[in-house]
């Protein structure tokens, strides 16, 4: 590992540095999460990086031109590693496990923006742009079809450097697909634990196809995560390397989603970032990215954050908005969180939502998410399954296929617009975390079944974008009639 890289407890009262080749991803107290931390001055001096973001855009052009060239050129072609000076833990190009991830785009769609209620955004000098300020960061374009590849390339590179022999994850689907892809690229045996019947078909198909040993556990995601933590953390002698987002190297890779957003916006931060919340790795990574960039003097302000839960898996929403628990300089009210978890257990509450990717009741990164909400002056909301599916269909109708969990970000942005928390003239980036083909069953069900009524969380009727398949006779006249 580079000498300027360490791990450190997220508890501000514990500033001791831990070695970066550690594979137990909790502090010595056995429960506090860890951050990857850098001596930035030393790293940037030795890497010769002058903190000019123009370098990253130059690499984008170069990397695209010579993706089959040297290892250095391969790194330039990755949307994660072209920012390598901002996650500088890898020693040399050959330590990196990359499959060309992160070539994703910040997309505009003015028709969708206007339909949701956005207006031309107000520029810093007070004048108005001629276009609304909604942007979609389309992470479904990654090699395995979700944002997870950003984190996997980073965690697999760490795993390679520490000589991991086996890798494991618990998954609601996308982590397993991504782990399976990178395990096969790295030549390491991969094991995934999925809840029986709790995973969308597209994702299961990927894990099987890429050759990961897929264990269907008789339990939900929360149970699977508890089991992989037992395997990797409680029994280090097994040498099993954990790939869930409790692994802080995963989050280093996921920071680059925000680097690409900034790259596309000329390093002018948007007003808001809106992201679906499951295990809360993304929101934690985004806040770390902005905080570090701010400290490095590469941005002059930090955007606000909105984390959107599904109503059937709204632990963060409840803890933040109903119980009022805050980061509180690292002294968050853990006793109340434990009491809440006990209440959920006693009531037999299980996460249940059409957005299976965020069907998680015990988000492992909860403390980091509370810190992220503090750093980014954040808000938390939940949206119900109808609302998610209506917005998924709207996103699809406007040309960007996403899976249900991803649409929670767009549904959440609309809800915050209606509440007046997001202003219509602000610049808002919604993260589309996974591709539509991940969960075709949910899409077909939405279009084939007609519903009446209104979505509870925002003021739109149900089924507004449904596009039913039409049965027709095997006859050209009949077909023409249907074509209008
Ligand atoms: C498509 C999709 N969206 C959102 C999430 C939630 O992300 P996080 O766990 O970082 O909150 C996941 C996690 O599995 C996912 O697969």
328-357 pLDDT tens trace:
999 999 999 999 999 999 999 999 999 999
> DSSP string covering 190-226, please?
EEEEEETT-S-HHHHHHHHHTT-EEEEESS-HHHHHH
- The mean per-residue pLDDT over the stretch 400-406 comes to 95
277 lines ligand 1 (CB under 6 A): yes
Contact 118, 108 (CB under 8 A): no
Average pLDDT of the chain, as a whole number? 93
Q: Which CATH class is domain 105-141+265-448?
A: alpha beta
Query: Can you tell me the mean pLDDT for 384-399?
Result: 95
456 has a pLDDT exceeding 80: no
CB of 139 shorter than 6 A to ligand 1: no
Say what the pLDDT of residue 457 is: 65
CA distances (Å), 421 to each of 130, 378, 412, in order? 22, 11, 11
Identify the residue whose C-alpha is closest to ligand 1 atom 6: 278
Query: Highest mean pLDDT: which of 226-230, 432-436, 442-446?
Result: 432-436
Domain boundaries, the chain: 5-102+143-248, 105-141+265-448
Q: Read off the pLDDT of residues 290-317 as tens digits, 9 standing for 90 and up.
A: 999 999 999 999 999 999 999 999 999 9
pLDDT at 449: 77
Residue 194 pairs in a beta bridge with 171, 216
State whether the Cα torsion 326-410-433-303 is positive or negative.
Answer: negative
Would you give the distance in Å from CA 476 to the centre of its chain? 47
Distance 382 CA to ligand 1 centre (A): 15
Neighbours of 286 (CB within 10 A): 28
DSSP strand pairing (428-432 vs 134-138): parallel
Mean pLDDT of 224-242: 88
Closest Cα to atom 14, ligand 1: which residue?
357
Q: pTM for the full model? A: 0.96
Q: Phi and psi for 190 in degrees, rounded to 5?
A: -115, 140
Ligand 1: atom nearest CA of 434 is 1
DSSP character for 238? G
Name which residue sits closest to atom 15 of ligand 1, judged by CA: 357
Q: Give the chain's end-to-end CA distance (angstroms, integer).
A: 65
Q: What is the pLDDT of residues 112-163, one digit of tens each?
A: 999 999 999 988 788 888 899 999 999 999 999 999 999 999 999 999 999 9
- Is 372's pLDDT higher than 70? yes
CA distance 65 to 61: 6
Question: What average pLDDT does the segment 383-398 reach?
Answer: 95
pLDDT band at 462 (very low <50, low <70, confident <90, very high): confident
Q: Which CATH number fits domain 5-102+143-248: 3.40.50.1100, 3.40.50.1820, 3.40.50.11540, 3.40.140.10?
A: 3.40.50.1100
278 lines ligand 1 (CB under 6 A): yes
β-strand 128-132 against 134-138: which pairing, if any?
Answer: unpaired
Residue 284 CB-density burial (10 A; 0-12 exposed, 13-18 middle, 19+ buried): buried
Question: Does the pLDDT at position 236 exceed 90?
Answer: no
Residue 65: pLDDT above 60? Answer: no
The pLDDT assigned to 458 comes to 67
Residue 308: the pLDDT is: 98
Coil vs helix vs strand at 264: helix
Which of 146, 155, 378 has the most ligand 1 atoms within 8 A of CB, as the residue to mutate? 146
434 lines ligand 1 (CB under 6 A): yes
State the closest ligand 1 atom to the C-alpha of 403, by its place in the atom list counted from 1: 1
Q: Is 276 in the pocket of ligand 1 (CB under 6 A)?
A: yes
Say how many Å lie between the CA of residue 279 and the centre of ligand 1.
7
C-alpha–C-alpha distance, residues 408 and 415, integer Å: 10
pLDDT at 2: 92
Q: Say yes or no to pLDDT of 370 above 90.
A: yes
Same fold yes or no, 5-102+143-248 and 105-141+265-448: yes
Rounded to whole angstroms, the Cα distance separating 303 from 315 reads 24
Å from CA of 313 to ligand 1 middle: 12
The total of other beta-carbon atoms located within 10 Å of residue 341's CB is: 16
Q: pLDDT exceeding 90 applies to what percent of the chain?
A: 82
Beta-strand pair 240-242/213-217: unpaired
- Report the DSSP pairing between strands 5-9 and 17-19: antiparallel
Kindly state if the Cβ of 358 falls inside 6 Å of ligand 1: yes
């Amino acid at each position: 590992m580079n000498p300027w890289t360490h791990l450190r407890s997220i508890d501000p009262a514990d500033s001791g540095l831990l070695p970066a080749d550690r594979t137990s991803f909790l502090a010595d107290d056995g429960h506090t999460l860890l951050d990857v931390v850098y001596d930035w001055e030393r790293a940037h001096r030795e890497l010769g990086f002058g903190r000019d973001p123009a370098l990253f855009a130059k690499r984008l052009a170069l990397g695209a031109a010579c993706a089959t060239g040297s290892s250095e050129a391969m790194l330039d072609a990755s949307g994660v590693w072209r920012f390598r000076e901002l996650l500088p833990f890898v020693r040399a190009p050959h330590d990196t496990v990359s499959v060309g991830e992160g070539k994703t785009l910040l997309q505009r769609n003015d028709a969708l923006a206007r339909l949701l209620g956005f207006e031309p955004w107000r520029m810093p000098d007070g004048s108005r742009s001629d276009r609304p300020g909604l942007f979609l960061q389309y992470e479904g374009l990654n090699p395995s079809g979700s944002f997870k590849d950003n984190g996997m390339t980073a965690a697999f590179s760490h795993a390679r450097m520490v000589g991991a022999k086996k890798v494991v994850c618990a998954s609601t689907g996308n982590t397993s697909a991504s782990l399976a892809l990178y395990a096969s690229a790295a030549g390491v045996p991969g094991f995934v634990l999925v809840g029986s019947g709790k995973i969308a078909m597209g994702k299961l198909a990927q894990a099987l196809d890429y050759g990961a040993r897929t264990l269907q556990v008789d339990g939900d995601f929360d149970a699977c995560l508890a089991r992989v933590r037992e395997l990797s953390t409680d029994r280090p002698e097994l040498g099993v390397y954990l790939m869930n987002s409790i692994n802080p190297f995963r989050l280093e890779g996921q920071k680059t989603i925000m680097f690409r957003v900034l790259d596309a916006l000329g390093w002018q931060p948007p007003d808001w970032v809106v992201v679906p919340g499951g295990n809360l790795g993304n929101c934690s990574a985004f806040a770390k990215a902005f905080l570090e960039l701010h400290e490095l003097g590469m941005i002059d302000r930090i955007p606000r954050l909105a984390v959107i839960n599904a109503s059937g898996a709204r632990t963060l929403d409840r803890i933040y908005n109903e119980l009022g628990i805050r980061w509180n300089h690292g002294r968050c009210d853990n006793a109340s969180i434990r009491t809440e978890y006990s209440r959920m257990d006693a009531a037999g509450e299980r996460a249940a939502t059409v957005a299976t990717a965020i069907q998680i009741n015990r988000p492992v990164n909860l403390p980091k998410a509370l810190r992220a909400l503090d750093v980014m002056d954040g808000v938390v909301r939940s949206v119900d399954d109808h609302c998610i599916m209506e917005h998924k269909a709207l996103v699809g109708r406007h040309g960007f296929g996403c899976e249900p969990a991803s649409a929670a970000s767009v549904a959440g942005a609309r809800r915050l617009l209606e509440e007046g928390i997001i202003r219509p003239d602000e610049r808002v980036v919604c993260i589309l975390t996974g591709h539509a083909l991940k969960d075709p069953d949910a899409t077909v069900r939405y279009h084939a079944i007609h519903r009446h009524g209104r979505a509870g969380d925002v003021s739109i009727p149900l089924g507004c974008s449904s596009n039913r398949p039409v049965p027709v006779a095997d006859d050209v006249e009949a077909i023409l009639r249907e074509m209008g």
